Amino acid sequence: MQDAVTTLIRNYDSTGRYLDGTAIDTLKSYFETGSARIQAAAVISANAAELVRAAGSRLFETVPELLRPGGNAYTTRRYAACLRDMDYYLRYGSYALVAGNTHVLDERVLQGLRETYNSLGVPIGSTVIGIQIMKDMIKEKVAEAGVADTSFIDQPFDYMLQELSEVSI
């Protein structure tokens, strides 16, 4: 897994350049938000089960047809699989949050996920809704924990949302 620092240095090293003002600003931003990212990860870790359960409930209120016969979360097994997947997104999102880098999401979560979901008939649209709900809940919890600016939380979750969303060409 790469973090923001190793990725930045690798990119500059591969082109044989010294760190410039842009690189230094990127590093400063990463380190300035370090404590807040760690605090956010601690909040996520301490509240993971509650976040997944509540986000699942909100998702099923928003898209109730998922729980109806024929819906993708209709059986107990499918319901549990949905919550399991939401837990994966939450856990890997927290890793990317701490790293300040989304590479772990590509490596561990997103590669091939769209194809897998499509082949299994898992609705990607409702997955996107669930991740958005979770992101909003995380931002609320982290703000309640005393972090004033929670905008850094957007990066990993918005990245997952973007990668899973259908793109119209």
Burial of 82 (0-12, 13-18, 19+ CB in 10 A): buried
Same-domain pairing of 3 and 72: no
Domain-located, residue 169: no
- Please state the domain count of the chain: 2
Tokens 């359960």 found at: 53
Distance (Å, whole) CA 116 – CA 162: 17
Question: What CATH number corresponds to the domain at position 42?
Answer: 1.10.490.20
Same-domain pairing of 7 and 90: no
Same-domain pairing of 111 and 64: yes
Q: What is the extent of the structural domain holding 23?
A: 1-32
Domain-located, residue 90: yes
Query: Average pLDDT, stretch 87-104?
Result: 95
The answer to pTM > 0.75 is: yes
What residue type is assigned to position 148 of the chain? A
Closest CA to 40 of 163, 126, 155: 155
Same-domain pairing of 3 and 81: no
pLDDT per position as a tens digit, 2-11: 888 999 999 9
Distance (Å, whole) CA 164 – CA 150: 23
Same-domain pairing of 108 and 119: yes
pLDDT per position as a tens digit, 4-62: 899 999 999 999 999 999 999 999 999 999 999 999 999 999 999 999 999 999 999 99
Task: Using the predicted structure, report yes or no on whether residue 123 has a pLDDT greater than 70.
Answer: yes
- Residue 166: what pLDDT? 64
Same-domain pairing of 84 and 122: yes
Q: Which long-range contacts (C-beta less than 8 Å, at least 24 apart) are formed by 71-74?
A: 72/121, 72/122, 72/123, 72/126
Q: Three-class SS of residue 61?
A: helix
Query: Average pLDDT, stretch 79-103?
Result: 95
- Residue 117: what pLDDT? 84
Task: Using the predicted structure, report yes or no on whether residue 169 has a pLDDT greater than 70.
Answer: no
Tokens of 91: 């856990």
Same-domain pairing of 40 and 27: no
Packing angle of the helix pair 34-62, 124-144 (nearest 10 deg): 130
- Residue 14: what pLDDT? 95
Distance (Å, whole) CA 149 – CA 138: 13
What residue type is assigned to position 109 of the chain? V
Domain-located, residue 5: yes
